[in-house]
Structure 1
């Protein structure tokens, strides 16, 4: 237990690379936690200065990929209970207290929480959101490092759910969001190619309209006005772009084999 209270001690770790835009707010939102660990892969802005201001322990690690960097971050944490935040995710008021109170009750190895995506300056809270395992015990978790993108951690049951919505600024601008998805789509295409899951003409033709309907209607982005309409199109294009890049990878490989 923490000396400050009856809560088990907790480490917060954040993966960073030039995160000065939101890092101050991120770290302020978890003020009072026993340990903050910054895993940085070479920031050239004020990221490290901001981290030092909040008393964080900074560890440099060259970028090995999303999953392996988070696995490294978990290993650097001193305490068994870990909260993982990205450099653009802010814990809402009262959220940390809710997490720590639930952990103190026992009988749980991890906690599911949500994102509240900020897109074009506004929340998309009316849309349906995924749950994420962001709070877990080090001795009860395993990071799947076989994936190149959209890494996820496996946590032994039981897990609890809390209605906490991290304020997520990673998708705030359409330009920045498209930049991220351009990178993610290439990583996903490379992963699909490694898994022997080729592109197909039907998928290339149908993926965009089907995914648009999934996001706009199924994920209920329709209730977020024109921002929801725009984001549903961008998300659908991400899936189309993945298929297009997968096709390109296969095509270029065949061309090389002919030489």
Structure 2
């Protein structure tokens, strides 16, 4: 996607802040920040990176704020509050806008008739896109004054945006799932957070879910979300995604089982 707007048009566009939360995101951060060149400000809230994340952020002129980890939703809510402009774009440290997308977004919000925009993910797995897997849309662009993060969730955080919203045909390149090893590490952590969240909401372990969740979710990912179009990569990704749901149920069962036996549940998970 190549920018097709004149310099005069771009200078008249609304100011936009870009914000990210980071922890050792140096691998892709240079590409991420290059993709939002032209933003009025870039706010980067870091929770203790030890790689070259901060050096890259400084090179791109980002405003760096150090904040001890608060949890996914609360960390993003904190970062949003640091933004000076009403219109914001939220990206993770492994998400890259395609060429010209930033200007396209600016021109759409300049019409003044919306509070937010959905964008789609182009998930990279084993070095390449996953065909047929770009339908899932995310709220990534919105008015700060019309939005708030739901801070009651531990994982898979989401932002509430007052309507109206629209979507643009922009696929955000997402490297977060690139390797099977790295993806499994993430999902292992997320599954425990999800299990704890379900406990807090009064949802208990179901042996039926333990038995059925894996095959049902595999069918969902492989066939309904069309991962079969990616060949063996899609088959592997669908199995990993299904296993994530099984692992959540397994950890929920384990926590209930250990608690019933009088074990120290939190100690067993360290």
TM bucket, shorter chain: over 0.9
Which of 92-101 and 208-217 deviates more? Answer: 92-101
Q: What SS does the aligned partner of 2:37 have?
A: coil
Match of 2:196 in 1: 190
State how far apart, in whole Å, the 2-side matches of 1:257 and 1:80 are.
49
Q: How does 1:7-26 map to 2 (within 5 A)?
A: 7-26=13-32
Determine if the alignment matches structure 1 residue 34 to structure 2 residue 26.
Answer: no
Determine if the alignment matches structure 1 residue 107 to structure 2 residue 76.
Answer: no
The 1:61/1:3 distance shift into structure 2, 3 A limit, reads farther
State how far apart, in whole Å, the 1-side matches of 2:160 and 2:150 are.
7
State how far apart, in whole Å, the 2-side matches of 1:253 and 1:103 are.
51
Determine if the alignment matches structure 1 residue 88 to structure 2 residue 94.
Answer: yes
Which of 92-101 and 133-142 deviates more? Answer: 92-101
Unaligned runs of 5+ in 1: none
Q: What SS does the aligned partner of 2:217 have?
A: helix
Match of 1:207 in 2: 213
Residues 124, 177 of structure 2: 8 Å contact kept: yes
State how far apart, in whole Å, the 2-side matches of 1:19 and 1:200 are.
37
State how far apart, in whole Å, the 2-side matches of 1:161 and 1:29 are.
19
State how far apart, in whole Å, the 1-side matches of 2:220 and 2:9 are.
48
Residues 128, 220 of structure 1: 8 Å contact kept: no
Residues 44, 63 of structure 2: 8 Å contact kept: yes
- Alpha-carbon distance, 1:257 to partner: 7.8
Residues 16, 38 of structure 1: 8 Å contact kept: yes
Which of 65, 73, 77 does residue 67 from structure 1 map onto? 73
State how far apart, in whole Å, the 2-side matches of 1:198 and 1:132 are.
29
Q: What SS does the aligned partner of 1:27 have?
A: helix
Residues 122, 172 of structure 2: 8 Å contact kept: yes
Residues 14, 87 of structure 1: 8 Å contact kept: yes
Q: How does 1:1-259 map to 2 (within 5 A)?
A: 5-256=11-262
- Alpha-carbon distance, 1:4 to partner: 6.0
TM-score (norm 2): 0.93
The 1:102/1:31 distance shift into structure 2, 3 A limit, reads same
Unaligned runs of 5+ in 2: 1-7, 265-270
- Alpha-carbon distance, 1:125 to partner: 3.5
Q: What SS does the aligned partner of 2:91 have?
A: strand
Q: What SS does the aligned partner of 2:27 have?
A: coil
Residues 20, 90 of structure 2: 8 Å contact kept: yes
Residues 45, 79 of structure 2: 8 Å contact kept: yes
- Alpha-carbon distance, 1:253 to partner: 1.4
State how far apart, in whole Å, the 2-side matches of 1:48 and 1:125 are.
34
| Stretches of 4+ aligned residues off by more than 6 angstroms | none
TM-score (norm 1): 0.97
